[in-house]
Amino acid sequence: NGGVLSGMEGEGDGDEGEMVVGEESPLQSTHQPLLSSANGTEEDGYYLTTSGNDNGITTSTSQSALTRQLNSQKQQSVTQSPSQQPHHSTSRKKQEFTLLSEIKTCLSSPTLVSLSLGYAAMIGVVSSLGTFGGAFILALQLFDDERTAAVCFGIAAALSGVIGTPLGGKLVDRVMERHFHQENHNPNHDHNQNHTTTTSSSTSSSPIANTTNPMGLNIDPTTRNTLLSSLLPRLNLLVLLAVLFVLPTLLMQQAAFFLSFLFLGWTFLFATQTGLMVSAMLTVDRAHRPNALAFLTLTSHILGDVPAPIALGWIKDRLAPECRIGEDGDFEDPEGCAEEEEGVRLGLGVAYLWMGWSLVFFEVARRFAKRGLVRTEAKEERNGGGEDGYQRGDGGKDGREGGND
């Protein structure tokens, strides 16, 4: 405000000093630092000499009183009990990570387990259709040439992945941007209760990077369950749209319509990938996120893309035995396979309907996330007084009294 804080004037011998505060006057001289030693004795010269103008306001403070005050605060901080220490200075016990402890952590999250089962069902269908897709559309007599059938099917699948995955990422960005935008503009929201603050530059182009609680940092369980409750229904909707678009292909006789609807269905299916990865990370604390993704991937292999193609191939051979592929890469009986078109479509329908398990398990995961949200909110209400007291206090008596209240 334009004033000058001069400090204390004295000779370091324990005499009275002056505190001079003037207006619009530059500092003219500086003596010794306020703390010249860490011993805390009166002979150490705890003073700072700086002169101002003559219009300042003068007050006196003795060096010995200042020394006693500093020593008293130091002794109080040393003898303070752990329960009286400020909440933010509590040291955490070092956490050890082992293979068994990480597996236990992942299995103890019902939301992650349900999410992994749904993801395994979806990956199993994608892998099965990628393995036998060319054979299916060739058996349905949509193409005359196996190479042309495989190329067209592969292009449709690849384009759906290239387009669907970034669209799904954009959807996740919008969900999280809306959540943190509402949190930041909520008049009842206490930003001091956030566990972390952003370190991103204000010029970042990402809408999430400028919020007070970005995804990349550690967030509290309430926020994690809130985001899960918002993301999982949208993932389920995308899977449902994918099923609704691929089911009509069971009745189509034209290759163009068949591949077009298959492309749209797979686009919605691949749009779930980003949301699934983010949801898996939200099911656990920040330290366990890598292993949560590893658990999701491992489950998708064990229960998804490894056994599913074997099972679907067996079902196809049972429903359309004449459409078995021989060692030369062709159908064993092409003419007999043409007569078993109904069995081929039925086998393809089994693959489509298998994605229904994804709908079931994603809904189960959403319910677990909702239950976790209710539980954490109730816990915060019970412990809200103590935590707020520590966070509002300055680590001293007021903060501890607020915590006790």
**Residue 170 neighbours by CB under 8 Å, 6+ apart:** none
CA dihedral (276, 278, 280, 282) positive or negative: negative
pLDDT for res 67:
57
pLDDT for res 139:
87
pLDDT single digits (tens) 171-192: 999 988 888 776 666 555 544 4
pLDDT for res 89:
42
Asked if 325 contacts 331 with a C-beta cutoff of 8 angstroms, the reply is yes
CA 81/CA 86 separation, integer angstroms: 10
pLDDT for res 169:
94
Letter for the amino acid at 128? S
Q: Find tokens 């089911």 and name the residue.
A: 247
Q: Return the bridge partners of 59, or none.
A: 19
pLDDT for res 207:
42
Residues of the chain with pLDDT under 50: 1-62, 81-83, 85-92, 190-216, 385-405
pLDDT for res 32:
45
pLDDT for res 393:
43
Q: Which two tokens stand for residue 302?
A: 């064990």
**DSSP state at residue 381:** H
pLDDT single digits (tens) 248-266: 999 998 999 999 999 999 9
pTM, rounded to two decimals: 0.65
**Residue 115 neighbours by CB under 8 Å, 6+ apart:** 232, 276, 279, 280, 283, 296, 361, 362, 365
pLDDT for res 353:
92
CA 351/CA 15 separation, integer angstroms: 92
Choose among 251, 249, 268, 273: nearest CA to 153: 249
pLDDT for res 188:
53
